[in-house]
């Protein structure tokens, strides 16, 4: 089954940038023929360009890039690596390894999706190296899938693109929906319940899968430790200064603490915005790397993962500009209203977001395209905005277990192939669908 899915993906899905271009062309044609306004092709191109370079949306793109890169840099620090080494010693067989890798990857991914993505990949690799060194038979593809599990929960976590963006003043849908605090989305009773159930069920599923299947000897070698033989002289000492790094990183972390705890007259979650998260990740990353030199090496290694956001997000913003200005948003939202009611709308949103994620494998880009439609329809059906946003978040993240785009860093680090982890990630997806739909119906 997984081999067939891989062939389908290769046959039908080109590179994500190509998909973004094709979606732009499809949206252009839909706007031309379905727009309630009398618009010309040149006018539609104007709408597209205005969306392409929309200033608030470009700020959003940079925020998401920083969130991925800084989270990745954290995972590359020696401190995080040492904790991963210690945790890998608990993984003495496939079942316990799968459960531990899943549990810790989920927890880290709730904090930051970029950190969780790389943490899970490195953890899975370390478990494989530990098994290889100690002659432990292991279902290594299952461990790889466990390391990828964080991408199934990230959008409901603190760094989820849609929830953190709507909590920020001046976000691009503020006029339609206002500002919604994370206390109403990520820290709502629904999402906390969902998160706790996932933290229990998903590691249990992976533990049970570890009892079955084929276990083989793993042959992996630890990469050699790089020895720095160059002499550090003159002003270059500042680049390697621990005192300077700890001082600068410490000042940033203190300011984050001041802004979150000491400054507000009453404690709330309103301080959690993309800018605050990135500022905190910057201070923590510099502190854990203990020198600017090490931190910048991590940046150079992590920056490649943000290239997709850099070049694809503007195309998604162009699609949004076309849909908003041409009136296509109203056409689509009216369709959703015609087939939904207040109970079924979150379910339709969940499944539609899952489908859109296959073609737009970025939560931020998907929010830019799908967000205006969902908010307009939710307004007409009197469905709470926060619930509609979380339905989109759940749908976006669930099909990451089917769409292997974000698995590329993990596959590179672990040496696995997509078809090897896909059977297990699909089972995680099925378990998640049941949990998410139940939550959307109950709450």
Give the angle 417-156-286 at the CA atoms, nearest 5°.
75
Q: For residue 156, give the nearest of 411, 387, 349 by alpha carbon.
A: 387
Supply φ then ψ for residue 155, to 5 degrees.
Answer: -70, -15
How far apart (Å, rounded) are the C-alpha atoms in residues 133 and 131? 5
Q: Give the DSSP H/E element, type plus range, for residue 316.
A: helix 307-326
How far apart (Å, rounded) are the C-alpha atoms in residues 59 and 362? 16
* Strand pairing category for 216-217 and 137-138: antiparallel
The DSSP secondary structure of 262-312, one letter per residue, reads ISSSS--STT--HHHHHHHHHHHHHHHH-SHHHHHHHHHHHGGGGHHHHHH
Name residues whose C-beta falls within 8 Å of residue 64's C-beta, 6 or more positions apart in sequence: 161, 274, 309, 313, 362, 364
Supply φ then ψ for residue 138, to 5 degrees.
Answer: -145, 145
DSSP state of 224: P
pLDDT of residue 429: 94
Q: For residue 325, give the nearest of 57, 40, 47, 50 by alpha carbon.
A: 47
116 in Cβ contact with 101 (< 8 Å) = no
How far apart (Å, rounded) are the C-alpha atoms in residues 73 and 378? 38
Neighbours of 62 (CB within 10 A): 15
Give the angle 368-394-329 at the CA atoms, nearest 5°.
35
The residue extents of the domains of the chain are: 13-220+302-442, 238-301
- Residue 269 tokens read as 């979650």
DSSP state of 377: H
pLDDT of residue 221: 66
How far apart (Å, rounded) are the C-alpha atoms in residues 302 and 67? 11
- From first to last of its 443 residues, the chain has per-residue pLDDT tens of 656 766 776 677 677 788 889 889 998 999 999 888 888 999 999 999 998 998 888 988 898 889 888 988 888 888 888 888 888 888 889 999 999 999 999 999 998 888 888 899 989 998 998 888 888 889 999 999 999 999 999 999 998 999 999 998 888 899 999 999 899 999 999 999 999 999 999 999 999 999 876 677 776 766 555 555 567 777 888 999 999 999 999 999 999 999 888 887 776 777 888 899 899 999 999 999 999 999 999 999 888 878 877 888 899 889 888 888 898 888 888 888 899 999 999 999 999 999 888 777 778 888 988 999 999 999 999 999 999 999 999 999 999 998 766 787 788 788 888 888 888 999 999 999 999 999 999 99
């Amino acid at each position: 089954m997984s081999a067939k899915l891989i062939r389908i993906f290769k046959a039908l899905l080109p590179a994500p940038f190509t998909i973004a271009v094709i979606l732009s062309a499809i949206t252009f044609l839909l706007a031309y023929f379905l727009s309630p306004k009398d618009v010309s092709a040149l006018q539609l191109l104007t709408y597209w360009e205005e969306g392409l370079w929309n200033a608030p949306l470009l700020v959003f793109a940079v925020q998401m890039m920083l969130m991925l890169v800084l989270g990745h840099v954290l995972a590359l620090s020696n401190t995080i690596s040492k904790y991963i080494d210690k945790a890998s010693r608990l993984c003495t067989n496939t079942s316990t390894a799968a459960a531990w890798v899943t549990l810790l990857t989920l927890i880290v991914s709730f904090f930051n999706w970029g950190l969780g993505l790389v943490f899970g990949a490195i953890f899975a690799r370390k478990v494989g190296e530990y098994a290889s060194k100690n002659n432990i038979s292991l279902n290594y593809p299952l461990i790889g899938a466990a390391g990828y599990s964080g991408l199934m929960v990230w959008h409901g976590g603190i760094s989820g693109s849609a929830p953190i963006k709507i909590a920020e003043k001046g976000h691009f849908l503020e006029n339609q929906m206002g500002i919604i605090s994370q206390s109403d989305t990520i820290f709502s009773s629904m999402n906390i319940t969902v998160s706790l159930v996932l933290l229990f069920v998903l590691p249990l599923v992976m533990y049970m899968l570890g009892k079955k299947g084929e276990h083989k000897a793993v042959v992996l070698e630890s990469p050699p430790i790089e020895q720095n033989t160059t002499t550090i002289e003159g002003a270059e000492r500042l680049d390697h200064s621990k005192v300077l790094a700890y001082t600068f990183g410490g000042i940033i972390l203190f300011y984050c603490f001041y802004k979150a705890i000491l400054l507000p007259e009453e404690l709330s979650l309103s301080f959690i915005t993309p800018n605050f998260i990135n500022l905190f990740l910057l201070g923590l990353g510099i502190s854990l790397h203990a020198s600017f030199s090490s931190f910048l090496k991590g940046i150079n290694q992590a920056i490649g993962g943000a290239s997709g956001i850099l070049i694809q997000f503007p195309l998604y913003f162009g699609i949004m500009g076309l849909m908003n200005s041409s009136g296509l948003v109203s056409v689509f939202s009216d369709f959703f209203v015609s087939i939904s009611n207040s109970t079924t709308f979150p379910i339709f949103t969940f499944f539609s977001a899952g489908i859109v994620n296959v073609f737009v494998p970025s939560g931020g880009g998907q929010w830019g395209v799908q967000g205006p439609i969902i908010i307009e329809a939710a307004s007409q059906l009197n469905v709470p905005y926060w619930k509609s946003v979380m339905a989109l978040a759940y749908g976006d993240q669930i099909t990451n277990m089917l769409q292997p785009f974000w698995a590329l860093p993990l596959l590179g680090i672990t040496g696995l192939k997509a078809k090897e982890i896909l059977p297990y990630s699909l089972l995680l997806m099925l378990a998640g669908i049941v949990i998410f739909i139940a939550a959307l119906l109950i709450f």
